[in-house]
Amino acid sequence: MDLSFIFEHKLILSISAAVLSILYGAFLAYQVLKQPKGDTKMNEIADAISEGASAYMKRQYSVVAVIGVVIFAILYFALGTYSALGFAAGAILSAVAGVAGMAVAVRSNIRTAQAAKTGLPSAFSLAFKGGAVTGLLVAGLALLSVAGFYWVLEQYAHGDLAPLIALGFGGSLISVFARLGGGIFTKSADVGTDMVGKIEKGIPEDDPRNPGVIADLVGDNVGDDAGMAADLFETYVITAVAAMILGNLLFPNNTSILYFPMLIGAVSIVASIVGTWFVKISGNSIMKGLYQGLIVALLVSVGGFWLLTNYVFQTGLGIPSLNLFYCLLIGLGVTIGMVVITEYFTSKKFSPVKTIANASSTGHGTNVIAGLAVSMKATFAPILLIAGAILASYTLAGLYGVAAAAMSMLSLAGIIVAIDAFGPITDNAGGIAEMAGLDKKVRDVTDPLDAVGNTTKAVTKAYAIGSAGLAALVLFASYTQELAKGAKGITVAFSLSDPAVLVGLFIGGALPYLFAALAMEAVGKASVSIVDEVRRQFREIKGLMSGKVKPEYGKAVDIVTKAAIKEMILPAAITLIAPIAVGFLLGAQALGGLLIGSIVTGLFIAISMTTGGAAWDNTKKYIEEGNLGGKGSFAHQAAVTGDTVGDPYKDTAGPAINPMIKVLNIVALLIASFLM
């Protein structure tokens, strides 16, 4: 079988696959939007959520735009027109992926609540379609930005690759802000609203009398949906770009190497679309229904990768086709491994969550100790998995093998995000049902969907951070190759015996700690501001508690918006400035150390926080199911404490580490040519 003629059309193929993904996403959006929207009361609430989310996004992107314009100007003067354009394209498309996906999500929530009246299967199908829009947009826009911008460079810039780095930088920058701002928003709204509502006033979650409740629901969208979408978009783009740059540096005379990552993306986009068709509730297991789709996507990818490596992409790199195929399988294997490990550490079925639950029965302190122990322990298996993947893919195909594995892993972002993004939709649907006073059976449909969403959220984060580990290493490899090119023959060894490298390692290791500490603090500070506002409304608005007067939802949204945006600036600024300062003050060696240092501690912090946080969350749910005394018991109170601690862990600090590491690496790559 000779399919290599396909390769003639490699760029058209990649762009077509990307466009297909976007079109199919639009088609799903159309299907969702034509569903019934429920009664007036439901619409009022849904509109409030939608308005709040838009207001937040507008504010966030007005601030980010100012920073973006400054960086655009700097890039224009330092690196030229195409780098500046690439940066703008990456930033804008990253924002579009998040905003468009979220726009569909905030319209799916009410329709899901309405569908839930007729039972689980229809609600599930609708929420999944709504979430799949985000997934398809993320993968489609990411591939489109890479392939499209590369086409521009080929046509107008003699195939110069440097502007691609700026494209990735644009995506990463947006992603840091989206993850931080969205994460601070969602968790401070959540913690602050619950603290006054549940604890001080004793009213249930999502009670319409609570002035913070809309802010809480808005948070699910801006953090868990838009933030996550921006994050995966940038990871995808960065991985593809890094693989292209590294391929070009390693095989400078082989132009076809540039198309390989894009073709991997094209294969997996088709696989992801096929995968979504197989997501169907089977029996009563929602999780099984989701995994069904993932497994189909994996299998289609395996087939596609086989054809790609054996019959389409015949390159003469000196790497046997079969070895390249195995590298792609390793990427898929790491994805499966991360899913299984995360499931083990966060699911109510296994011993980690049960251990935390048992520790809850002796108090708040022992719950937290057990949770922290689980969170630290949860890093070991993923790290071994990533380490094994690096060793195996390197053995098979050298540095390029690692890049191929990373790209293969990331290429599945479409289906992975789809599986995740239905979570916030069902979470919101439950909130709307509660606030609109719908029948209890509606919540009985949305609650289990929400619970599954919690696990898939943890899975996506583990996937994102695992792939980020590989992607960051590929970026680091590009950085060293770039320096070597600049040094013109002088070997650039980052030796651990070099004190500059060691010092860089230490400083790099310190950055995720500082960043995470600031993010945790930010949630603390922003929560206080919303607690004050919610308390004020309960105090000043007469008839609020009796339900006669509606609270001023908008004010609470406004306050948490301002707080989140204010708090996201400092950690993001540190991320931008640190590599530049270390690079120019301590040199290229120290900067190389910094990159690896940040990857090492960053991976551990991110995995421990996202997994630990989800384990705490599910411990609370496990006890609420009636175990160890159930709701209201002493163990339950302790579990609520653990969940509160886990919130900024898993939804603010932990996931923001992922784009943070990438920004450090990509800034280093941008300034590499100035350092030699």
Q: Which is nearer to a second copy, 193 or 272 (CB)?
A: 193
**Cβ contact 305:328 at 8 Å:** yes
**Candidate list 262, 452, 505, 526; residue touching a second copy; CB under 8 A:** 505
Region of 66-74, 131-139, 339-347, 383-391 interacting with a second copy (CB under 8 A): 383-391
Query: Residues 523, 557, 559, 657: which binds a second copy (CB under 8 A)?
Result: 523
Q: What Å distances lie between residue 494 and 348, 475, 503, 505, 592, CA to CA?
A: 44, 15, 12, 11, 7
Check binding of 376 to a second copy (CB under 8 A).
Answer: yes
**Sign of torsion over alpha carbons 523, 525, 529, 535:** positive
Among 152, 503, 541, 581, binds a second copy (CB under 8 A): 503
Q: Give the interface segment with a second copy, choosing from 119-127, 277-285, 316-324, 389-397 (CB under 8 A).
A: 389-397
The CA distance from 489 to 356, in Å, is 55
Of 17-25, 38-46, 508-516, 617-625, the window that binds a second copy (rule: CB under 8 A) is 508-516
Which residue number, 171 or 333, has a Cβ lying nearer to a second copy?
333
Per CB under 8 A, does 541 bind a second copy?
no
Q: Which is nearer to a second copy, 64 or 196 (CB)?
A: 196
610: contact with a second copy by CB under 8 A: no
Smaller CB distance to a second copy: residue 457 or 620? 620
> Among 128, 422, 553, 604, which residue sits at the site for a second copy (rule: CB under 8 A)?
604
- Tell which one of 109, 193, 379, 456 touches a second copy (CB under 8 A): 379
Alpha helices in 308-379 (DSSP H): 321-346, 351-360, 364-377
Site residues (CB under 8 A) for a second copy, limited to 89-148: none
The count of residues interacting with a second copy (CB under 8 A) is 77
What b/e readout covers 564-590, taking b as 16+ CB neighbours within 10 angstroms? bbbbbebbbebbbebbeebbeebbbbb
**Identified binder of a second copy from the candidate list 366, 554, 558, 569, rule CB under 8 A:** 366
Name which of 272 and 360 has its Cβ closer to a second copy.
360
Q: How many residues does the chain have?
A: 676
Distance CA(367)–CA(635), nearest Å, equals 9
At 87, list the tokens. 């940066």
Query: How does DSSP assign 16-27, residue by residue?
Result: HHHHHHHHHHHH
Stretch that binds a second copy, among 204-212, 233-241, 543-551, 641-649 (CB under 8 A): 641-649
Answer for which of 298, 386, 656, 675 binds a second copy (CB under 8 A) is 386
Minimum distance from CB of 252 to a second copy (Å)? Answer: 18
Three state DSSP letters for 131-164 = HHHHHHHHHHHHHHHHHHHHHHHHHHCCCCCHHH
Task: Find the helix packing angle between 440-487 and 228-250, rounded to 10°.
Answer: 30
The torsion angles phi and psi of 395, rounded to 5 degrees, stand at -60, -40
The binder of a second copy chosen from 277, 441, 495, 625 (CB under 8 A): 495
Applying CB under 8 A, does 383 fall inside the site for a second copy? yes
Is residue 623 involved in binding a second copy (CB under 8 A)? no
Pick one of 30, 513, 584, 674: the residue that binds a second copy (CB under 8 A). 513
User: Least distance (Å) from a second copy to the CB of residue 615?
Assistant: 12
Taking residue 364's Cβ as centre, other Cβ atoms within 10 Å add up to 16
Candidate residues 648, 654, 655, 659; the one interacting with a second copy per rule CB under 8 A: 648
3-state secondary structure of 111: helix
Asked if 350 interacts with a second copy (CB under 8 A), we say no
Q: In the block, which residue shows the tokens 């490990």?
A: 341
Q: Which of 476, 538, 553, 622 binds a second copy (CB under 8 A)?
A: 476
26 binds a second copy (CB under 8 A): no
Among 32, 232, 516, 530, binds a second copy (CB under 8 A): 516
- Nearest CA to 374 out of 603, 599, 609 is that of 609
- Which of 644, 654, 658, 671 binds a second copy (CB under 8 A)? It is 644
Task: Name which of 190 and 206 has its Cβ closer to a second copy.
Answer: 190
Going from the C-alpha of 73 to that of each of 69, 83, 315, 568, 579, the distances in angstroms are: 6, 10, 39, 22, 19
Stretch in the footprint of a second copy (CB under 8 A) among 59-67, 68-76, 277-285, 499-507: 499-507
Would you count residue 370 as binding a second copy (CB under 8 A)? yes
Using CA atoms, how far apart are residues 137 and 84, in angstroms rounded to an integer? 24
Q: Tell me how far apart the alpha carbons of residues 657 and 639 are, in angstroms, rounded to a whole number.
A: 26
- Among residues 675, 516, 528, the alpha carbon closest in space to that of 590 is found at 675
Q: Which of 73, 199, 545, 573 binds a second copy (CB under 8 A)?
A: 199
Residue 474 binds a second copy, judged by CB under 8 A:
no
Backbone angles phi, psi at 543, to 5 degrees: 80, 5
User: In the complex with a second copy, which residue's Cβ is closer, 499 or 543?
Assistant: 499
490 binds a second copy (CB under 8 A): no
Binding map of a second copy across residues 47-86, x = CB under 8 A, - = no contact: ----------------------------------------
Question: Of 90-98, 124-132, 173-181, 470-478, which segment contacts a second copy by CB under 8 A?
Answer: 470-478
DSSP code of 266?
A: H
Among 6, 373, 570, 576, binds a second copy (CB under 8 A): 373
Residues of span 557-596 touching a second copy by CB under 8 A: 586, 592-593, 596
Residue pair 523/184 in contact by the 8 Å Cβ criterion: yes
Does 507 contact a second copy by CB under 8 A? yes
Provide the Cα torsion 104, 105, 109, 111; round to 10°.
Answer: 30
Q: State which of residues 208, 211, 275, 597 lies at the interface with a second copy (CB under 8 A).
A: 597
CA-CA distance, 344 to 339, in Å (whole number)? 9
Q: Please select the residue that binds a second copy; options are 614, 640, 661, 663, rule is CB under 8 A.
A: 640
In angstroms, the CA 534 to CA 486 distance is 57
Q: How far is the CB of 590 from a second copy (least distance, A)?
A: 9
Class of residue 542 by CB neighbours under 10 A (exposed 0-12, middle 13-18, buried 19+): exposed
Asked if 387 is part of the footprint of a second copy (rule: CB under 8 A), the reply reads yes
